[in-house]
Structure 1
């Protein structure tokens, strides 16, 4: 029987929104037994939270809890005794005030990994302030680099802060600490801050800026839409194509497909980029999106269609790899070339049932 890499790990997820929920999904997708301690569904939820639950809450069972109840506290602490890790996304100090801080839990179980994700981090002048993804990536410097020149920065959905800078950094930190705990018997407290994570994701561009190879002006650089060979273009039917012909031979294939003379369109003549962009825009507007996709198929021009969310599940490549199931993305990454079927545990159980299950499996 094929086993997922995190089989046998037990993780308690103190229910929240955004990154901690995504992290719980990732850990469950990779085989961990994640028990979600859920609160009142009406307490401060964003309007789309319930809809997102179909994806973000998958793969794990929820146990409704009252974190201020003495009876529930006893059961939760007994669950902690059998857990490998705890993950939470409350503001700093909340878990401590509730009696579930890392010092309390690790005193009971020294090998416990305590993973926490916040926007600003556990320390610093802004640690206690409220905010959302856009605020955190704004402080990191990354948001400033996104969008068109001479216009306000464009929100990149909540991918950079919540999921890239928050959830993924939390997952990496928790897994690293779990590996260490297996050899030392001591857990760690993992402090994943979305501002920190977003800054790290933007580290390459800080390095380039320091070397004079990146401008703070949006839309004037190699990877921000400034280069005519690395951006999206509108097509005749209102669709778009993504052009990413970075390497010289890929750029040559692009020019060939557009029937342009290489001598008239030098790739790194920065002064000529605005004129080349206008020229490419005119050419791509002469055909429909899928016509261009067919035209460049099998070449090295790196031209692909920009699919909508509704179109992506039906694309032949995505279908061949089984990227989506029921319209939602499946687990990734794959291990040994296999995308395992997602677990479908009982949606909700009581704390008593959760304890009984864990004790039975431990025995």
Structure 2
């Protein structure tokens, strides 16, 4: 079922978005907008993007519609510009200058639609010495200082999948940016370009840490601080069965409950004494190794000790709290995170599965009044 067949879902109902197909943070940002109710049309390339995921399982394309346009073809740019004419937001994730060379850059789009919000998603940004260099999440977050914060001091920095750079420092900042620019465009009639660079967003995420560093409350090395695993009551511990428990008992009252339930109150040194953190960590680790993850979960259930089991991706949907809230949902046979956040009036939902390349061309041609999308030969797909 196409997203447009269920109008009125989410606070962005009525907002039109064009997504020039790519991989990673751009599609995820467009999914967020689609989850919030926007009519997102993904412009797929003939042959696909090269992402090694079957389109049927690429849930970052849920709640969207897809058309196939060859931007390098004679009529391709005009078709995309036709979509941009009718859109509120356009998102692209090419290297700087590529959209301009393809004939769909912001200057060309704004000449036809001055209200358009043109969102640009890159790793390095639109300018700077590295702007034209290739990269992926890990290379973008490395220079920002954030990658170097994560992991054990005697091991290489831990790799946080591509969550920190692509999605937190990239997609989320792009979405904030285009929605802020949309608000401005609707107030003034003037659109603008949003330059969302993963290096900028990821650096921004560490704002509080930089303040702590300036105040002398943060050491510039791994696992030596309150929030980076250096603190023995803010970290993870292995259990008897090879599972793990996460501990975040920072405040005094939570720490008191934690050591009581763990059974080490008489053995725990003063928790504010940094010089004895190593001793305390050994005590805590030994206790957690004495029972299984399930047993410790039962011990801390219902408490304010700020302790939780570390679950795998496949286990997470079955956690009682997440199940009760419907944090995960099943749609089209795929278990996936439900849209977030939640709204009291304009409810959101997964309305359609992953958009299949070109499958919505006729509907988009009709709804957006672009009959040229249906011209023979435009929809060739060498895949």
Q: Please give the range of the TM-score, normalised by the shorter of the 2 chains.
A: over 0.9
Structure-1 residue corresponding to 2:340: 332
Please give the secondary structure, in 1, of the residue aligned with 2:305: coil
Using a 3 Å threshold, how does the CA distance of structure 1 residues 72 and 353 change in structure 2: closer, same or farther? farther
Deviation of 1:41 after TM superposition, in Å, equals 4.0
Aligned residue for 2:373? none
Deviations 1:187-245 (A, max 9, x none): 01000000000000011111111111111221111001000000000000111000000
Q: CA RMSD in A?
A: 1.9
Look up the match of 1:22: 28
1:270 aligns with 274
Residue 235 of structure 1 is aligned with which of 239, 255, 260? Answer: 239
Pair 1:123–1:255, CA change in 2 (3 A) = same
Q: Report what 1:37 is aligned to.
A: 43
Matches within 5 A, 1:154-303: 154-261=158-265, 264-303=268-307
Q: Secondary structure at the match of 1:70?
A: coil
Matched position secondary structure for 2:40: strand
2:200 is paired with a residue of what secondary structure? helix
Distance 1:337 1:253, change over 3 A: farther
Residue 351 of structure 1: how far off its partner (Å)? 4.8
| Partners of 1:240 and 1:51 in 2: CA distance | 34
* 1:109 alignment counterpart: 113
Q: Deviations over 1:306-333 (max 9, x none)?
A: 0111101111111111111222111010
Match among 325, 343, 354 for residue 351 of structure 2:
343
Instruction: Give the deviation of 1:251 after TM superposition.
Output: 0.2
Deviations 1:50-98 (A, max 9, x none): 3685311100111011001122322222211111110011111000000
1:359 is aligned to: 369
1: CA distance, partners of 2:208 / 2:199: 16
Q: Counterpart in 1 of 2:157?
A: 153
Relative to the length of structure 2, the TM-score reads: 0.89
CA gap of 1:178–1:165, structure 2 versus 1, over 3 A, is same
**Shift in CA distance, 52/18, structure 1 to aligned 2, threshold 3 Å:** farther
Counterparts of 2:289 and 2:268 in 1: how far apart (Å)? 20
- Contact map agreement 2:10 2:346 (CA 8 A) in 1: no
Q: Report the counterpart of residue 73 of structure 1 in structure 2.
A: 77
Instruction: Tell me which of the two structures has the higher relative contact order, counting C-alpha pairs closer than 8 angstroms and 6 or more residues apart.
Output: 2
How far apart, in 2, do the equivalents of 1:350 and 1:309 lie? 32
1:123-165 per-position Cα deviation (integer Å, ceiling 9, x unaligned): 0000001111001100111000001112110111101110001
2:133 aligns with: 129
Matched, 1:317 2:321: yes
Q: Is the Cα contact below 8 Å between 2:117 and 2:194 reproduced in 1?
A: yes
Q: Which TM-score applies when normalising by structure 1?
A: 0.94
Displacement of 1:115 in angstroms is: 0.2
Aligned-partner Cα distance in 2 for 1:257–1:284 = 11
- Paired residues of 1:60 and 1:344 also in contact (CA < 8 A): yes
CA change 1:51–1:307 in 2 (3 A) is farther
Deviation of the 1:339 alpha carbon: 5.3
After the TM superposition, list the runs of 4 or more consecutive aligned residues in structure 1 that deviate by more than 6 angstroms. Answer: none
Supply the distance in 2 between the matched residues of 1:117 and 1:266 (Cα, whole angstroms). 48
- 5+ residue gaps, structure 2: 1-6, 371-383
Q: Distance in 1 between matches of 2:228 and 2:361?
A: 49
Alpha-carbon deviation of 1:263?
7.9
Residues 223 and 41 of structure 1: is their aligned pair in 2 closer, same or farther, counting only changes over 3 Å?
farther
Query: In structure 2, what is the equivalent of residue 144 of structure 1?
Result: 148
